[in-house]
Structure 1
Amino acid sequence: MLKRLFVLLVIFAFGVGCQPKDYQNVITDGSYQIAAQDKLTEIIIHDIFSPPVASRIYAYPAIAAYEVAVLAGNGEYKTLMGQLNAFEKVDFEVTEDVYLPLASLAAYYKVGTTLIFSEDMMRDHKNAAFKELKSKGIPNDVFEGSVAFGEKVADYVIAYSKKDNYHQSRSFEKYTISSDPNSWQPTPPMYMEGIEPHWNKIRPFVLESPSQFKSEPATAFDSKPGSDFFREAEEVFNVVKNLTKEQSDIAFFWDCNPYKVNVKGHVMFAEKKITPGGHWMGIAAISSKTANQDWIGAAETLAKTSIALFDGFIACWDEKYRSVLIRPETYINKYIDEEWLPILQTPPFPEYTSGHSVISNAAAETLTSLFGDGFHFVDSTEVAYGLPIREFESFRIAADEAAISRLYGGIHYMPAIVNGASKGKKIGQYLVGKIETKNGKLAEK
C-alpha cells in the first residue's frame, strides 16, 4: 500500500512539475520591452546621439519586437514587411516550444545593441532581465530556443537597417557655413557645426520621398524694421521678454536638447537630456501602460510611434537644410538687441521648420489612431530630469503645446511652428492610412 502511494505521489509530482505551458503567463504586458526602451533612452543620452539619429535607434528595435509579436497575434496583426519601404516579406517558422513574448524581447535587445556605442550597458540590462525571466520558470530549452528565434528575426531587421544609407552618410561632407545674412550660423556657447545636413538621404519607412510634404517657403528674409521677417523676430523677442510662469514651464518641459551646455565663469559643462523623439517614445510607453495593453499591443504602439518619428525627422531635416534659415538668437542679436538671449539654448541646426512641431504632430496623429482622441495621460517623461509631470487630455493637445514651446523658448519664429505642425500632421495621417497593423486596419481602442 505504501509503495503504491509513493508511486502515485511521484507521478503526481512529476505531472505538476512538468506542465508544458506553465510559463505562458510570465510576460503578459509590455513592461519588459518598455523597460528595455527606457534603458535605450538612458544610453542614447549617455552616448549623446543627435535627435535624428536617436529616432533611428528607437525605430529598428521596435520594428523587430513587433515582427515577432505579429506571429503571436493569431492573425489579428499584420506584418510591416511588405509595407515599409524595401522591407521585403519573408516567412519565419515558429516551433511550438518558442515563447514568443521572450523572443520579441530578445529581438529588441539585439537590434538595439547594434545601434549604440555603449553596448555593455544594454547587454547588462538584457542579462538582468533574462535572469529574472529564467527565475520565473521558463524551461531552459524553451528559453534558449526563444532567444535564438528572436535573434534570427533581429538579424533580418539589422540587415534591413544597414541599407538605409545611414552608414554611408557618416562619410558625407560636413555642412559649409554660408556668409549670406539670411543663413543659419552656429550659436553660443559651443558654436557647434550643423548636425546631420544629409539626413534627407536616409531611407524613410513610409514616405515616398523626404520632400513629399514639402512646406511652403519661410518668410523672405529682411532686416528692415517693420518688414514681415523683422516682425516675426520681434514677436519672439517680446514673447520671451514677457513670459508667464506657465509659458516658461512649458518651454523647459519640452526643451529636450541633448546638447545643452552650461557656462559658469570659466567653467563649461554639458547637461545631458532626452531627445524630442525620446520624449514621445516615453509618451507612447506611458499610454500603453495607461490603456493596459498586452505585450503585443505595446509592441505595436512603440513600433508605429517610432516609425512616425523617424519619417518626421527625415522630412523636417530635408526642409531645414534646404532653407538653412537664420535662428532668432542670431537675428535678434544683430538687428534688435545684442544682449538678448532665448531661455532655451539654441540647437545646432537651421531654424525652418521646427523639429519638435513636426515630430510631435506626427507622433500625436499616430497615437490618436491607436488610442483615440480625448485619451487622457499623465506625462511623467521629464521627471527623471528634474521636471514635474504635465497632464494632457489628448495627444494633439500635447503636440500643440510642444510646438508652441519653441516660441516661448525663443528658438523658433511662428511660421516654423505653424508650418512644422502642419507637416507633422500630414506625415502622421499619411502613415496611419498607409500602414495596416491590427486586423488589417487601425487598432480600435
Structure 2
Amino acid sequence: MLHARTVLVFILFLLLFLLSCEKELPRYYDFQGYEFASVDPEGGTWKPILIENGAAISIPAPESTTSVPYLQEVEQLKDEMARMSESDVKAVTYWTQNPIIRWNEIALELIAKYNLIPGPNADGSYTLPNPANPNGPPVFPFSHPPYAVRALAYLSVAQYDGLISAWHHKFANYRPAPYIQDKSIQPLYADNVIPSYPSDGAVVATVSRRILTQMFPLEADYLEEREAEHLRCLLLSGANVQSDVDAGRVIGDVISSIALARAATDGMKDAQAPKPVSDSLAAAALDRFGWQWINQEVPQRPVGLTPLFGRVKMWSVDKVEDTRPAPPPAIGSPAYEADVAVLRDYAQNMTQERRRIANFWQDGLGTYTPPGHWNEFAKEFIVKYRLNPLRSARTFAYLNMAMMDGGISCWDTKYYYHYPRPIQTDRTLATIAGTPNFPSYTSGHSVFSAAGAEVLAYVFPEEAGVVRGWAEEAAISRVYGGIHWTFDATVGTEQGIDVARYTIDTARKDGAD
C-alpha cells in the first residue's frame, strides 16, 4: 500500500511538472549590443545597498594609455582578436554589452532546474535538502519561490553595488576602451563611450559566479565555465584589456563576499523549521483564531514549506509585523460563505479563458517560479528601453528586493493566521492545479506580483498600466485554479503594493532619478 501511495505521489508530481511546462521557461534573448539610452557618468555617486558608497571598494590606479605595460596589453589583445574563431564571435555576440541580462537568464535557468519537490522515501518519511550534502538525496536546493526570490535578490543587489563601485572608478580614472586608443581594433560591441577601467563585465561575471555557486553548489563547474567564457569575451570584444578585467574581478570578489556574509546571517538557514516548531505555529493559530491549515497531500508531508521564512531579514522593512494585514474572514461567517459561493461558481463555470489564465500564471514545478516570471518581464523592458548595465542592475535589485520583502511579509502572514485552503474546509471545491504545501492567506502569487509590478511601474512609468494589469491577472489566476480564496488574492495584492512602497522609497533616495 505504501509503495502504491509513493507511486501515486510521483505521478502527481509528474503531472504538475508537465502542467507547469505549458508556460515558458527562461528564454535566451537574441539581441545584439545596443546603444544605451544613457551612460550615467554620475552613476558612481549613487547610493549602494550593501556598502557605504562607490569609493568603498578600492582598486589600483590604472596604467596610463601611453605606458609600456598598457601598450603591451593592447598588442596582446590584438593578437587574440586576430585568432578569433566563429565560435568566439558567436560567444561575444551572446554576451553583448549587457551581461546583467545573460546572468539573469542563467539564474532563472538554474531556478527552474532545481524547482522540484523532494519526494518521500520508501518508508514514507521525508528527507530535506541539505546544503552540507548538496548531492543528496535529495539534491540541494529545492528552489521554491522563497528560495528563488532570495537567490535573485542577492545576485542583483551584489551586481548593482559592484557596478556603482565600477562606475565610480571608471569616471574617476577615465581610461578609454582599447578600440578608441587604437583605431586598428574593430570592436564587436556598439560604441557606448564608457571608460574601460575597471571592466563592468568582469564585475558582473565574478559576482554572478560566486553568488550563484553559493545558491546552487552542484553547478559550480558550469558557472566557472560561463564566467571564463564571459571574461574571455570581454577581451575579444575589443572593449577591455586584461588589467581592466583584473580590476573588475577585484570589485566583484569584494562585493560578493559582503553579500554572502549577509546571506549567511539573514535567517534563511532556519526557515525550514523542524516539525515541533511548525506544529507550534499551527497550535498558536488554533488557540488564537479557532482554525489551522492542514496539508491535504497524500502522503502528507510533516512540515509546511519554510514556516519561518517570515522571520528572514528584510531589505527595506524594519519590522515584518508592520506589513501584516488584518485577519481573514472567520470560517462560517457571512464573508466566508460568500467567498465559498464565488469559488463554487468559478468551479462550475470554468471557461477556456479562465483556465488559460490559471495555467499561464501557475509558475509551478520545473519553472522559474512567480518571482522569475517578473524578472522575465523586467528583461523585456530593459531591452526595450535600452538600459545600460548599471541601470539594468538597479532595476533587478529593487525588483527582487521588493519581491523578497513581499515574500517574507506574505510568509509571516501565512503562518501567523495559518488559514486553511479552500479544499480543506469544503471538500466539494476542486482545484485545477496542485495545492501548495503552506497556508492559504495571503496568496504568494498575488504578493510577489503586486510588489514586482509596483517596482516596474516606478522604473518604467510608461508600462505602469500594463504591469499592474498583469499583477491583477496573476492574483485572480489562483482563485480560478481553486487554490486560493478571493480575499487571499485581493489582500495579497494590497500587501504586495504596501511592501513595495518601502523599496521604492529607498530607490528614490539613491540619486539615480
Normalised by the size of structure 2, how large is the TM-score? Answer: 0.66
Show the counterpart of 2:323.
213
The 5 A counterparts of 1:90-239 are 97-120=197-220, 121-137=222-238, 138-169=240-271, 173=275, 175-176=278-279, 182-188=291-297, 191-192=300-301, 193-222=303-332, 227-239=334-346
| Distance in 1 separating the partners of 2:94 and 2:166 | 13
Alpha carbons 2:445, 2:475 under 8 Å: kept: yes
Letter in 2 for 1:243: M
Report the alpha carbon displacement of residue 171 of structure 1 after superposing the two structures with TM.
Answer: 5.9
Of 37, 46, 54 in structure 1, the residue corresponding to residue 113 of structure 2 is 46
Say if 2:362 is the partner of 1:252: no
CA 1:219–1:351 in structure 2 vs 1: closer, same or farther (change >3 Å)? same
What does the per-residue CA deviation read over 1:97-136, in whole Å, with 9 as the maximum and x for residues that have no partner?
4213321332122122212232333333323333333432
Is the aligned partner of 1:359 residue 2:468? no
Partner of 2:156: 62
SS at match of 1:410: coil
Mapped partners of 1:30, 1:231: distance in 2 = 54
Structure 1 gap segments, 5+ residues each: 1-10, 78-94, 259-271, 376-392
1:344 to 421, 433, 437: 433
Alpha-carbon offset, residue 348 of structure 1: 0.8
Shift of 1:292: 1.1
Checking the alignment, whether the CA contact within 8 Å between 2:378 and 2:395 is kept in structure 1 is yes
1:291-334 Cα shifts (integer Å, max 9, x gaps): 1111111111111101011100000001000111110122221x
Give the Cα–Cα distance (whole angstroms) in 2 for the partners of residues 71 and 361 of structure 1: 31
Residues in 1 aligned to 2:355 and 2:150: alpha-carbon distance in whole angstroms = 30
Rounded to whole Å, the distance in 1 between the matches of 2:93 and 2:202 is 9
* CA distance 1:111–1:417, change in 2 (3 Å): same
**Match 2:484 to one of 412, 418, 427:** 412
The 1-side partners of 2:229 and 2:389 are apart by 19
- SS of equivalent to 2:217: coil
Separation in 2, partners of 1:139, 1:329: 61
Whole-angstrom CA distance in 2 between matches of 1:129 and 1:66:
18
Match of 1:298 in 2: 392
Query: Contact between 1:66 and 1:300, CA under 8 Å: does it hold in 2?
Result: yes
Q: Residue 27 of structure 1 contacts residue 295 of structure 1 at CA under 8 Å; is this kept in 2?
A: no
Instruction: Say whether the 8 Å CA contact 1:184–1:325 is kept in structure 2.
Output: yes
The aligned counterpart of 1:282 is 376
The CA distance in 2 between the partners of 1:273 and 1:96, in whole Å, is 37
The 5 Å alignment of 1:381-392 reads none
- Separation in 2, partners of 1:406, 1:332: 17
8 Å CA contact 1:327–1:351 kept in 2: the answer is yes
CA–CA distance in 1 between the matches of 2:207 and 2:351? Answer: 46
Does the 8 A contact of 1:61 with 1:111 survive in 2? yes
Aligned match of 2:87: none
Task: Assess if the C-alpha contact under 8 Å between 2:328 and 2:487 holds in 1.
Answer: yes
- Aligned counterpart, 1:240: 347
Deviation at 1:355, TM superposition (A): 0.8
Whole-angstrom distance in 1 between the partners of 2:305 and 2:236: 45
Partner of 1:212, secondary structure, is helix
Using a 3 Å threshold, how does the CA distance of structure 1 residues 19 and 295 change in structure 2: closer, same or farther?
Answer: farther
Q: Taking structure 1 as reference, are residues 101 and 126 closer, same or farther at Cα in structure 2, changes over 3 Å only?
A: closer
Alignment-mate amino acid for residue 66 of structure 1: Y
SS at match of 1:118: helix
Distance 2:272 2:326 in 1: 29
Could you tell me how far 1:63 is from its partner in structure 2?
0.7
Distance (whole Å) between structure 2 residues aligned to residue 172 and residue 427 of structure 1: 28
**Alignment CA distance shift 1:296-1:242 (3 Å):** same
Contact 1:28 1:295 (8 Å CA) reproduced: no
CA distance in 2, matches of 1:435, 1:116: 29
Give the length in aligned residue pairs: 373
Structure 1 CA distance for aligned equivalents of residues 272 and 338 of structure 2: 39
SS in structure 2 at match of 1:219: coil
Cα distance between partner residues in 1 of 2:73 and 2:326: 68
Larger deviation, residues 404-413 vs 229-238 = 229-238
2:21 maps to none
Mapped pair 1:394 → 2:394: no
Output the amino acid matched with 1:61.
L
Deviation digits for residues 1-60 of structure 1 (CA, Å, limit 9, x no counterpart): xxxxxxxxxx9xx79955999x9x999976422221111112122223121111110011
- Tell me the CA shift for residue 207 of structure 1: 0.7
Q: 1:314 aligns with which of 381, 402, 408?
A: 408
- CA shift in 2, pair 1:412/1:300, >3 Å: same
CA contact (8 A) 1:61 1:109 kept: no
Identity of aligned residues (%): 24
- Contact residue 166 and residue 251 of structure 2 kept, 8 A: no
Residue ranges of structure 2 left out of the alignment (5+ in a row): 1-67, 82-91, 116-142, 172-194
Cα deviation, residue 274, structure 1: 2.2
Larger helix share, 1 or 2: 2
Aligned-pair CA distance for 1:74: 5.7
1:218 alignment partner, SS class? coil
Aligned counterparts of 2:197 and 2:390: Cα–Cα separation in 1: 18
1:330 corresponds to which of 424, 430, 449:
424
Q: Secondary structure at the match of 1:188?
A: coil
